[in-house]
Amino acid sequence: MDTWNIFRATAVASLLLMAGTFPAGADDTEIYKAEFSASTGSRPKVLVVFDDSGSMATMVDQQRPPYDPEDTTYQHSFISGGQPGNWSDRIYWSTDGEVPPKRISGQPNPNWFLKSKNRCASSYDSLALDGRFTADRARRWVDSRLVETAGYFRCDNDDETVQGNGCFKFVDVEVTTEICPDPVVVEVTQAEWEAWTGPKTRDCPEKRESRCVDNPALWDYFITRQDPCTTETVIESTWTRMRDAVWVPPSTALSIESWQPLTGGVTEPPHVECLNDVASGITNNGSGTGPGYPQDDVQTGNEYGPNPDPSMNWGTGAYTFYTGHYLDWYYDDSLEEPRSRIDIAQDVVSTIMRSNPGVDFGLMEFNSNQGSSNHG
């Protein structure tokens, strides 16, 4: 059983919330993950109550000695096959407050990033001294990419649409149509028929034209009459080419990017930042990067600015950072030895305090009955 579980299981020290914004019934991990309230200026406040009665002298088997950042004898057991060449350059992370496992889904743990990419200045001392640090929130920067835009035709007028290499729109046009009625055949008198200059016919009802020839009055006379044509004018919307479209040649530009959650397998992000720096007003970003606060939705080169970005999306979850050296200590079973409860409690509480600079801690003694038995 590791020192963290011993500390919780035996209730050696209780972390009690004295002032802050934690919900009732919150567990200790919520205390570690608390977020600074910029609106009120308040910081989480935790009272550590130490029980130093006689029972605290009880020895607990299979415990590691305190982590020593200078100790070079820890076995490299976190990665099978020994220590990789860049082991000291890695910072591993977890989102549940637990020490990262050796393997995830049967593969070496991919949740790490290069130490040189760490811009979370709040973590520097804790990682150097304790090998771990709890970031209220953390994000990685995604570099802008060169995005190529293909050439295209453009219409400068908003009411026109590109079609091919031209600009078109619907235009109202007057359209005049001639309307001519169909010819009509009518029966007329012989006199009308003879006077008609247009198409005309006659028919002998007796079917014996010789009789009609001898007697013209027997004919039936017909003329074909064509009434005059008229015109009609209407307004029609016609799809009309107005002008040539403007050709815009191909171009390249930097994409707009943002700060994203830490992602397994993304081990060389340009920057890794934490909300702790913003809450504490820390603009230091380590060597190789100028001072400033993270800026969201910008191009590479503008990811840091002189003022905090209120639109920055920090997410809702905390991250815990671990050095490779710390993980060697944690997984080195050869270090296990009996230790007293009070020693374990002191180490755990000291680490919690140093790893959470955004929290104000207080200490109180619970029981000064140091002369009692181990059950006192």
Residues 144-199: pLDDT tens digits? 877 788 999 999 999 999 999 999 999 998 989 999 899 999 989 988 888 998 89
Which residues partner with 363 through β-bridges? 48
- The pair of three-digit structure tokens given for residue 109, joined into one six-digit string: 């743990």
Q: Compute the radius of gyration of the chain from its Cα atoms.
A: 46
Can you give the pTM of this predicted structure?
0.56
- Whether residue 374 is contained in a domain is answered as no
Q: Is 324 exposed, middle or buried (0-12, 13-18, 19+ CB in 10 A)?
A: buried
Q: Which residue's structure tokens are 């989480």?
A: 44
Nearest to 145 by CA among 246, 229, 257: 257
65: DSSP letter = P
- Statement to judge: residues 34 and 84 lie in one domain: yes
10: DSSP letter = T
Picking from 247, 267, 283, the residue at the C-terminal end of a domain is 247
- Whether residue 375 is contained in a domain is answered as no
Distances (CA, A) of 196 to 191, 199, 201, 218, 222: 9, 8, 10, 19, 10
Picking from 247, 277, 302, the residue at the C-terminal end of a domain is 247
- Statement to judge: residues 327 and 343 lie in one domain: yes
Q: What is the pLDDT of residue 216?
A: 80
- Statement to judge: residues 264 and 242 lie in one domain: no
Picking from 225, 247, 269, the residue at the C-terminal end of a domain is 247
Does residue 39 register a pLDDT over 50? no
Does residue 20 register a pLDDT over 80? no
Nearest to 274 by CA among 114, 36, 27, 23: 36
Number of domains in the chain: 2
Nearest to 276 by CA among 97, 114, 118: 118
- Decide which of 140 and 53 is more confident: 140
- Statement to judge: residues 139 and 268 lie in one domain: yes
- Whether residue 65 is contained in a domain is answered as yes
- Band of residue 9 on the pLDDT scale cut at 50, 70, 90: very low
- Band of residue 51 on the pLDDT scale cut at 50, 70, 90: low
Domain span holding position 294? 3-144+257-367
- Statement to judge: residues 290 and 347 lie in one domain: yes
Spatial distance between the Cα atoms of 273 and 117, rounded to a whole number of angstroms: 9
For CA atoms 103, 264, 331, 1, give the dihedral sign: negative
- Whether residue 372 is contained in a domain is answered as no
Spatial distance between the Cα atoms of 318 and 96, rounded to a whole number of angstroms: 8
- Statement to judge: residues 40 and 162 lie in one domain: no
Q: What are 199-214's pLDDT values in tens digits?
A: 988 888 766 777 788 7
| Amino acid residing at 198 | G
